[in-house]
Chain A
Amino acid sequence: MDGSGDTSERLDDSYLNGGSAYVVEENDDTLGADGDDEKSDSPLREQDRFLPIANVARIMKKSIPQSGKIAKDAKECVQECVSEFISFITSEASERCHQEKRKTINGEDILFAMSTLGFDNYVEPLKLHLQKYRESAKGEKTSDSETMHELPDDLAQSLSTGQIMATDQNGQQNVIFSFQSGQFPNIN
């Protein structure tokens, strides 16, 4: 195990782009052949660069019919896509922040980034989630960063076409809300 954390370890050399462009190792500018180590290129272990595959797989399973199966390489693939998605949104949001001479990325920056990058159909549901989060954060004066505060019943029902499960714990409602409708805008 060389543990270099290189993404090319996950996809071996026989996986190459079809069509007009190919991924060719020798012209690999993106990996920065010279002195890549000089950048603080976050020496993240592979497991830190991705969200846990169990969580990812669980979420995937919720969106497909129960009888559906997901291939292992599809799960791994989504796991990588998700990290890329997060980075993609973050760098867009970060750029906006810099343009406005701010140092901290806030919720609005993320929403704006999503809209800019073509995920504007996520913005409305996210705004509602954010609103509820703010309200619950004010009420509790704790920010529990490990669990996500979900929409309460009344709001979720007006939005969702999917399932809602609610658990009460310590007077706090966690409503898990599954967003079923199509996510991708029509592309012309």
Chain B
Amino acid sequence: MADKITSTLPLSRVKTIMKSSPDVSSISQEALFTTGKATELFIQALAKFSLEQSSDSSSLEYKDLAEIVNTESTLQFLQDIIPRKIKVRDYYKICEKREQSEK
């Protein structure tokens, strides 16, 4: 048995995720294989690229991902998934300002 030492992803799970999209009836094996492979490439690229852009190149943090999602146009679809974090108190300040400007 080969150790799956590296980068295999469970295609059954990939298929589950694909099928959760609306209006998807069936998916060919090739499509599944291609998507799995593409996903792998995507993960690699995301990790590598975020780390490169990061201020601390030894550690990949959430904020690094949030940052590139806002700067790369191909990653715009992820903006709602990775919002930049702000502290709650800053949010409250923003709310206050909003309320004041609405009055």
Contacts and interface: CB of A to CB of B under 8 A. Distances in A.
A174 B6 CA distance: 11
Interface of chain B, main secondary structure: helix
Contacts of A63: 43-45, 47-48
Contact of B44 (A51, A77, A134, A178): A178
Nearest to A95: B23
Interface residues of A, number: 90
B83 A184 contact: no
Contact of A89 (B35, B62, B82, B83): B35
A59 B27 contact: no
Interface in B67-89: 70, 72-75, 77-88
B83 A106 contact: no
A48 B82 contact: no
A137 to B, nearest CB: 8
B55 interface: no
Interface string B48-69: 1111000001111110110000
Contacts of B19: 42
A42 B20 contact: yes
Interface residues of B, number: 77
B7 interface: yes
Contacts of A62: 6-7, 44
B65 A85 contact: no
Contacts of A145: 11-12, 29, 32
Nearest to A71: B61
A74 B37 contact: no
Interface in A78-134: 78, 80-91, 93-94, 98, 103-107, 109-111, 114, 117-119, 122, 125-126, 129-130, 133-134
Interface of B: 1-14, 16-51, 57-62, 64-65, 70, 72-75, 77-88, 91, 94
7 contacts: A18-B86, A74-B61, A74-B62, A85-B39, A86-B14, A87-B21, A118-B73
